[in-house]
Structure 1
């Protein structure tokens, strides 16, 4: 069976390793999520569950994981994390005091520099 899994995947790189209960539970969660999202039809879901719980080695799990959405290996940056609103809703405004202070300080520095420059030129 051909697989789209990378060779670095533990299912392909160490196919003889025994399946741990932790691995089995993680794959069960992934299968449930894929089924709930509609990525798997009921027959495919049941078939993969049967293979998951019958497998003894990681290599036997290749047909179970092939085609599943990849595991998320990162967290969203805090700046883009949802505040719980729905798409299209306006988010609460951010505190603008710090930005205002920086802009005012920048303008003040520019005015002072221009004043010094004019004094030097005259």
Structure 2
């Protein structure tokens, strides 16, 4: 019995043809799993053989079975995926834009306050 969910294209549309994009994506996942040590060399070669021999999505179930799942989210743009290590403090982001906005807001508030003061003094 497959551990893949029924919504997986490998189970829900097993007779659909395997596209080149699907092969490329699975090849990348297999390489990442091998590099991470999730699968050994023999399993890696066996899965690659099945991947490139498959004609239909259903034939890829043994290839994807047990691979780490794909992330189901995008990394937020505010998160820096730089070269830092966990716990390291990253470089400060430039504050020029925030400073300009803050100066503009304070300037506008000052002008409004001065106008109100002149109105109240008349």
- TM-score (norm: length of structure 2): 0.69
Q: CA RMSD in A?
A: 3.1
Find the counterpart in structure 1 of residue 40 from structure 2. Answer: 41
Change (3 A) 1:88 1:65: same
- TM-score (norm: length of structure 1): 0.69
SS in 2 for 1:22: helix
Larger mean Cα displacement after TM superposition, 82-91 or 42-51: 82-91
- 8 Å Cα contact 2:4-2:11 kept in structure 1: no
Find the counterpart in structure 2 of residue 116 from structure 1. Answer: none
Find the counterpart in structure 1 of residue 67 from structure 2. Answer: 68
What is the aligned length? 121
Structure 1 unaligned blocks of 5 or more: 101-122
Structure 2 unaligned blocks of 5 or more: 100-122
d(CA) in 2 for partners of 1:28 and 1:76? 22
Structure 1 residues 98-109: aligned runs within 5 Å: none
Larger mean Cα displacement after TM superposition, 84-93 or 16-25: 84-93
Larger mean Cα displacement after TM superposition, 24-33 or 87-96: 87-96
1:74, CA displacement in angstroms?
2.6
d(CA) in 1 for partners of 2:18 and 2:27? 13
